Structure 1
Amino acid sequence: MATTEECRSALDRLSDNLAQADGAVRSAAALDRSLSCHIRDLDVTFTGRLRAGRIEVLDTVAGPPPDKAEIRLAMAGDDLVAMVDGELNFAKAWASGRVRLEAGFRDLMRLRTLL
């Protein structure tokens, strides 16, 4: 089972990957939205912002997200690490229910290019 520190590191690597992307991926990540990522097996939530193509983690809180972020993710810690490492396909994990992504319709349409 991934630790809180490993999950935080995975989010930092994901942020770096988004910042280095170009084309449609960079455009999709260029939103300015509040973001939460709940790691279900650890019962911890990372909160922050997706801004200028980067994920800015601002806080780590115990339990589910305290506030409803504009983009909400939920998954197991091992799944987060595996996705960032390229070992788990996000679209397949989302379709199978291993990863939950909730956002407004317009944001989902933009974010689909990341899949």
Structure 2
Amino acid sequence: MADRVQCEAALRALASRLDELARGRRPPRTPDRVISCRIPDLATTFSGHLRDGFLQDIGEGEHPGAQITLTLSSDDLLAVTEGTLSVSTAWASGRLKVDASIRDLLRVRSLL
């Protein structure tokens, strides 16, 4: 089981990759959204703000009113962010749960 520090580092690495993508192309047409990532095996949640394709203000703690909530284990979070587990495989197998409107899901799917 991964720890909180590893999970936060994985989310920050994901944010860096998103930053590179956003800088390398026209900013995506995504509205500002709050994203929460619940990690049940650590009994914690990390949240951040998605603005213009950039994931910012990542920190531990649940943000009330998050429009997009991801739920997965700490090990699966690391595997997804390292690229050893694809998002689609994690979602199809039930290892990743996504709570978002269809519109938000379609808008951010290309970022992941």
Q: TM-score, normalised by structure 1?
A: 0.83
Superposed displacement of residue 12, structure 1? 0.3
Structure 1 residues 54 and 42: CA distance shift in structure 2, 3 A? same
Structure 2 gaps, min length 5: none
| Separation (CA, whole Å) in 2 of partners of 1:112 and 1:66 | 21
Structure 1 residues 7 and 54: CA distance shift in structure 2, 3 A? same
Superposed displacement of residue 40, structure 1? 1.2
Superposed displacement of residue 109, structure 1? 1.3
Aligned to 1:54: 54
| Separation (CA, whole Å) in 2 of partners of 1:6 and 1:57 | 17
- After superposition, the C-alpha distances for 1:55-112 in whole angstroms (9 at most, x for unaligned) are 2245313xxx462410111100111111111100110101111001111121111123
Aligned to 1:16: 16
Aligned length: 110
Q: Pairwise mapping of residues 71-110 of structure 1 onto structure 2 (< 5 A)?
A: 71-110=68-107
Runs of 4+ in 1 over 4 A off after TM superposition: none
Q: TM-score, normalised by structure 2?
A: 0.85
Identity %: 39
